[in-house]
Amino acid sequence: AQSVTQPDIHITVSEGASLELRCNYSYGATPYLFWYVQSPGQGLQLLLKYFSGDTLVQGIKGFEAEFKRSQSSFNLRKPSVHWSDAAEYFCAVGVSDDKIIFGKGTRLHILP
């Protein structure tokens, strides 16, 4: 069955430090992969997406993600976080029948 795993429920980093949020998926075919961010009390906003081609994808707000087929991973990275990045981050996989499966989310806390 298709699934998305975000192994870290909470992550805390200091402002200015680098960030990596992990995401692993289970899907037989080449997946469509997404990262979304949800700020408190808000809807979700797409950070970036991957369908094919270059495995390093650039997104908004300085985020990037790398698709690694051999590891079934799509980790999100940012070289230097800002206090405004504190939010919940969701990895998602789109499957062939137009469904999207979301991970449970990783809540990012930023230390000043």
Partner 1 sequence: DSGVTQTPKHLITATGQRVTLRCSPRSGDLSVYWYQQSLDQGLQFLIQYYNGEERAKGNILERFSAQQFPDLHSELNLSSLELGDSALYFCASSVDAITDTQYFGPGTRLTVL
Q: If binding means CB under 8 A, how many residues of this protein chain bind partner 1?
A: 19
Interface with partner 1, residue 101, by CB under 8 A? yes
Choice from 17, 68, 71, 100 touching partner 1 (CB under 8 A): 100
Is 32 an interacting residue with respect to partner 1 (CB under 8 A)?
A: yes
For residue 91, the surrounding DSSP H or E stretch is strand 87-94
- Residue 61 near residue 67, CB atoms below 8 Å: no
11 binds partner 1 (CB under 8 A): no
Report how far residue 23's alpha carbon sits from residue 6's, in angstroms, rounded to the nearest whole number.
Answer: 5
Q: Are 4 and 101 in contact (CB under 8 A)?
A: yes
Among 33, 85, 103, 108, binds partner 1 (CB under 8 A): 103
CA gyration radius, the chain: 13
In the complex, least distance from residue 18 CB atom to partner 1, rounded to whole angstroms:
26
Q: What residues between 37 and 66 interact with partner 1 by CB under 8 A?
A: 42-46, 49, 51
Contact residues toward partner 1 (CB under 8 A) are 32, 42-46, 49, 51, 90, 94, 97-105
